[in-house]
Amino acid sequence: MQFHSPGFLLFFAAVLLVHHVLPLPWRAKKAALLGFSYLFYAAEHPPFVALLAVSTVVDWFAAKGMHGAVTPGMRRFWLGLSLTSNLGMLGYFKYGGFLIENFVAAVHALGWTGYEPGGTSILLPVGISFFTFQTLSYTIDVYRGNAPPWPSLLDFALYVSFFPQLVAGPIVRATDFLPQLTAPRRADSGRFCWGLSLIVVGLFEKVALADAFLGPAANAAFGAPGAEGAADRLAAGYGFADAWIGTLAFAGQIFCDFAGYSTCAIGVAMCLGFALPENFRFPYAAVGFSDFWRRWHISLSGWLRDYLYIPLGGNRGGRWFTLRNLALTMLLGGLWHGAAWTFLAWGGLHGALLIAERSLRSAPVARWSLWSRWYGELALIAATFLAICVTWTFFRAGSFAQAAAMLEAMSGLNGVAPATAVDWAVAGPALAAVAGLLTVHYLRRHTTLEAAAAGWGWGWISLSLVLMALATAFAPRPDDATFIYFQF
Catalytic residues, which ones?
A: 337
Q: How far apart are CA 206 and CA 80, in angstroms?
A: 39
- Based on its alpha-carbon atoms, the radius of gyration of the chain, rounded to whole angstroms, reads 23
Q: How far apart are CA 141 and CA 50, in angstroms?
A: 24
Q: How far apart are CA 64 and CA 139, in angstroms?
A: 9
Asked if 64 and 132 count as a contact pair (C-beta separation under 8 A), the reply is: no
Asked if 244 and 193 count as a contact pair (C-beta separation under 8 A), the reply is: no
